[in-house]
């Protein structure tokens, strides 16, 4: 059996424990030996981040320096156009061949908005979706047609993820972490502590660079 490979895309402005901890637990639950973190360059569905791509990448490097589970993929940083996941996964699929099991990791909030993503249907042609739970977001889709789409692709079987190349959605029983980059940026701006929310090395870098003031 070929090992399932998983890509974890995000804006990471900044990276925090709400990104890292659920995914470490997910990796244990379903047997992922690597998670490839991929910062976007031009987020498709939100304003440009406060930190530059170089600063967000540096923060990711600091966050994963002592975590061998994670490695970094900078491919989206080399594109100046919007970082559409469908394009990235098409390219990754071509590199990995048609039978390699591939997955894209998202949080529950991203799943709810997933049908608004560019060419979203094609994403499942190239990868599975692995979803981490997140507090404050519903588990049901907003529109009935999208709920049917979700139901058609849902699986509870970890074996399915490892044995098929793409096309399944797996909602993992990961714990809730009530942390967001927005909350961290707001707290830092108000001079409030964020010590428990992100790695110390990332926090030090934020202060050194004068970010989020
Ligand atoms: N606390 C969390 N629990 C589970 N998933 C999360 C959490 N925070 C972020 N994610 C997921 O990580 C991915 C990257 O998220 P992103 O970089 O936008 O972080 P964010 O905290 O949501 O940022 P912002 O507050 O700026 O919108 C997304 O798929 C998102 O759903
Ligand atoms: O392709 C799209 O249309 C699309 C729309 C929204 C988000 N994404 C991707 O989903 C990941 C999480 O997005 P975000 O904005 O929550 O950081 C990140 O890799 C984004 O580039 C992709």
Interface pTM, i.e. ipTM:
0.99
Task: Look at ligand 2, atom 14, and give the residue with the nearest C-alpha.
Answer: 10
Residue tagged 């990711």 (tokens): 60
Q: Is residue 86 lining ligand 2, measured as CB closer than 6 Å?
A: yes
Q: Is residue 18 lining ligand 1, measured as CB closer than 6 Å?
A: yes
* Extended beta strands in 33-182, E state: 35-39, 70-72, 102-107, 128-132, 169-171
CB 172 within 8 A of CB 132: yes
β-bridge mates for residue 128, sequence order = 103
Average pLDDT over residues 136-158: 95
What are the pLDDT digits (tens) for 51-95?
999 999 999 999 999 999 999 999 999 999 999 999 999 999 999
What pLDDT does residue 181 have?
Answer: 98
CB 197 within 8 A of CB 16: yes
What pLDDT does residue 32 have?
Answer: 97
H or E element: which one contains 208? helix 200-209
- Report CA(44)–ligand 2 centroid distance (Å): 6
What are the pLDDT digits (tens) for 111-135?
999 999 999 999 999 999 999 999 9
CB 172 within 8 A of CB 29: yes
Q: Minimum-distance ligand to the CA of 114? A: 2
Average pLDDT over residues 4-33: 97
Looking at every residue in the chain, the average pLDDT score rounds to: 97
Q: State the pTM of this model.
A: 0.98
Q: Is residue 13's pLDDT more than 90?
A: yes
What are the pLDDT digits (tens) for 157-198?
999 999 999 999 999 999 999 999 999 999 999 999 999 999
Q: In which band, very low, low, confident or very high, does the pLDDT at 139 lie, cut at 50, 70 and 90?
A: confident
Q: Is residue 1's pLDDT more than 90?
A: no
Please report, in angstroms and rounded to a whole number, the separation of the first and last CA atoms in the chain.
49
Report residue 157 CA to chain centroid gap: 21
Residue tagged 């979203």 (tokens): 120
């Amino acid at each position: 059996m070929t090992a399932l490979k998983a890509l974890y895309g995000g804006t990471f402005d900044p990276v925090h424990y709400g990104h890292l901890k659920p995914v470490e637990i997910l990796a244990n639950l379903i047997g992922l030996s690597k998670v490839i973190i991929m910062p976007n360059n031009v987020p498709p569905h939100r304003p440009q981040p406060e930190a530059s791509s170089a600063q967000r990448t540096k923060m990711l490097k600091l966050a994963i320096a002592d975590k061998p589970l994670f490695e970094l993929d900078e491919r989206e940083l080399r594109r100046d156009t919007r970082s559409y996941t469908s394009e990235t996964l098409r390219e990754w699929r071509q590199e990995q061949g048609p039978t390699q099991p591939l997955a894209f990791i998202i949080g529950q909030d991203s799943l709810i908005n997933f049908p608004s993503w560019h060419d979203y249907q094609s994403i499942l042609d190239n990868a599975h979706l692995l979803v981490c739970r997140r507090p404050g977001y519903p588990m049901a889709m907003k529109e009935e047609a999208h709920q049917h789409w979700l139901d058609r692709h849902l699986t509870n079987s970890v074996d399915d993820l490892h044995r098929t190349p793409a096309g399944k959605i797996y909602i993992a029983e990961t714990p809730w972490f009530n942390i967001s980059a927005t909350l961290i940026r707001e707290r830092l701006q108000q001079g409030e502590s964020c010590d428990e929310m992100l790695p110390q090395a990332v926090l030090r870098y934020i202060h050194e660079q004068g970010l989020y003031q």
